Amino acid sequence: AQKITQTQPGMFVQEKEAVTLDCTYDTSDPSYGLFWYKQPSSGEMIFLIYQGSYDQQNATEGRYSLNFQKARKSANLVISASQLGDSAMYFCAMREGRSSYKLIFGSGTRLLVRP
């Protein structure tokens, strides 16, 4: 079974509007971390936001917020006030366990911001 599932291969959003990128995960470990990365066309992976499994509040970083629904095993990324520079691939990733080195990545969502 897929550990990380991103069901939206591609999405469009109008500039200045908000957009939600979906991510569901599968783990039986009570301790895990969820990460979102942005990959522009140039290729580098840019860390955006982190949510721990024991965190009580949803993570926020500037225009990025994470809609964490633990019971549903979802960790959706919300980008508010979209900008043209937000056009990129977005990857959700999970680290299982307290001492795991491994990040498991989803297949990504390509976001295109329209002017």
Partner 1 sequence: SQTIHQWPATLVQPVGSPLSLECTVEGTSNPNLYWYRQAAGRGLQLLFYSVGIGQISSEVPQNLSASRPQDRQFILSSKKLLLSDSGFYLCAWSVGLISNQPQHFGDGTRLSIL
User: Which residue type does 94 have?
Assistant: M
Q: Site for partner 1 (CB under 8 A): which residue of 35, 77, 82, 87?
A: 35
91 binds partner 1 (CB under 8 A): yes
Binding-site size, partner 1 (CB under 8 A): 27
Q: Site for partner 1 (CB under 8 A): which residue of 19, 79, 106, 111?
A: 106
Q: Site for partner 1 (CB under 8 A): which residue of 28, 42, 56, 57?
A: 42
Quickly count: other Cβ atoms within 10 Å of residue 42's Cβ: 6
Instruction: For residue 22, give the nearest of 36, 3, 8 by alpha carbon.
Output: 8
90 binds partner 1 (CB under 8 A): no
Q: Is 80 left (phi over 0), alpha (psi -120 to 50) or beta?
A: beta
Instruction: For residue 64, give the nearest of 38, 94, 25 by alpha carbon.
Output: 38
Contact range with partner 1 by CB under 8 A, out of 15-23, 66-74, 79-87, 100-108: 100-108
